[in-house]
Chain A
Amino acid sequence: MVLEMKNIQKSFDGQGVLKDISLAVDHGEVVSIIGPSGSGKSTLLRCATFLETIDGGNITYMDTTAASTDEGGKVSYLPKEGMKTVKEYFGLVFQQFNLFPHFSVLKNIMDAPVKVHGRNAEEVKAEAMELLKTMGLEEKAEAYPCQLSGGQQQRVAIARALAMKPEILFFDEPTSALDPELTIEVLKIIRKLAEEHMTMVIVTHEMSFARAVSNRVIFMDGGVIVEQGDPEEVFGNPKQERTQRFLKSYEQ
């Protein structure tokens, strides 16, 4: 398993957002998480990427348990150095891209591998150019984020995450801030990554995309996993009434 989250609990101001959620992702798996707004999808990703601290449960990457809960219910995370290693296992692509506006496209991709991993700049540059080629943005290497369309910015953000060579890549509604025609170019890239068996967890509202690209679909509502399974099963023949209702709302 690349990622194992067990019995995750998270609440904000006493309001339970994640209620005992467990999620395991295997190598090469593409998992889509769907569900209505406020169902806890994004919070789950934010807990997995340690942007939020959990109130209960365990999080394990590869064979390293980063967060665990003892019998008294006390959550403890690995010390700083240990967390640093665990953080290298994953990457995250944000809804709002969050590129660094003062860095060129190339520097956005190169900076972390060079400054965080301490890698050789020439070597990283060659890889970054290769990634930009994959994203169809070779000629934008010296441009600044503000000169790019949203779709281009998101593709750079994906390249930036990939440059860190993560074992697993999380997408938090990667196309929600984009116009429909720009959405397509980003989805194409994610699909390409899926074909290369990149391990990915994608929180999305793009139902047909989730159906086409993932090995497994998870439907979340009210902080719990209501239903999960093969995309054809979940979309074609949902078992739970809540799933049926949710999918119906997307048909109009």
Chain B
Amino acid sequence: MTFGTMLATMGEGMLNTIGIFFLTLLGSLPLGVGIMLLRTSKNKVVSSITKSFIAIIRGTPLMLQLLVWYFGPFYLFDWSIRGWRFPGLIIGFVVNYACYFAEIYRGGIESMSVGQYEAAEVLGYSKSQTFFRIIMPQVFKRILPSITNEVITLVKDTSLAYTLAYSEVFSIAKQISASQTSFMPFVIAGVFYFIANYIVAFGMERIEKALKYYN
């Protein structure tokens, strides 16, 4: 197998990896807001259930969670899991990352001074105006470095889809490596992840710079 064919074969895996990456962000960034709201709910039952759920998600390996999401329906309900591979995979990633994001959001919101809320209240802003106009933009800036960390981790975590035999870069690299007895596929995969993260870091840095106009 030439280097060219190798690259071409892995190209499809790269697209799949990129697919997992964007779908996970698309699902988990907003879902994190929902989980954060449940976590900070005034209802003690709701908040403690959410807290336990976050603890489980953060306390167990993502690889294990992916297996549970994929095989769970079969073992628990005896459902057919045909065609469930990709949805199960994405749900696993989204839920896992949403829990991390929820905790980052919560930390950011709790770091806001009471004075900001009070100033907004006295000026007559509604609760949602206060949140969306005053609090959220500032929280966004504060949590950006933590979000960057998570996004970079996600790029590398996409390789865990290998557990469910989903053909992303890493799975394909492993297959080709075995069949061709070549180390090259792993080098290509490594370079791919590195470049992907370089782009992520570059993009996030640009956003951080754009928000430098205030403290």
Contact = CB atoms under 8 A, between A and B. Distances in A.
A146 B123 contact: no
Nearest to B140: A102
Contacts of B213: 144
B83 interface: no
> Is chain B's binding surface mostly helix, strand, loop or mixed?
helix
A95 B205 CA distance: 35
User: B interface, how many residues as a size bin?
Assistant: 20 to 34
Interface string A84-107: 100110111010101111100000
Nearest to B129: A115
Given A101-B215, A144-B213, A144-B214, A116 B123 contact: yes
Contacts, number: 57
Interface stretch (B51-59, B71-79, B130-138, B153-161): B130-138
Interface string A31-59: 00000000000000000011100000000
Given A115-B133, A144-B213, A144-B214, A98 B125 contact: no
A234 B203 CA distance: 63
Given A101-B215, A112-B124, A116-B124, A94 B129 contact: no
Interface in B107-121: 113, 115-116, 118-121
A117 to B, nearest CB: 8
Contacts of A190: none
Contact of B119 (A50, A100, A116, A117): A100
Interface string A107-122: 0000110011100000
A146 B215 contact: yes
Contacts of B118: 51, 94, 98
Nearest to B213: A144
A98 B115 contact: yes
A84 B124 contact: yes
Given A50-B121, A102-B137, A116-B123, 18 more contacts: A49-B122, A51-B122, A87-B122, A87-B124, A91-B122, A92-B122, A98-B113, A98-B118, A100-B119, A100-B134, A102-B138, A111-B133, A115-B133, A116-B126, A116-B129, A117-B124, A160-B123, A164-B123
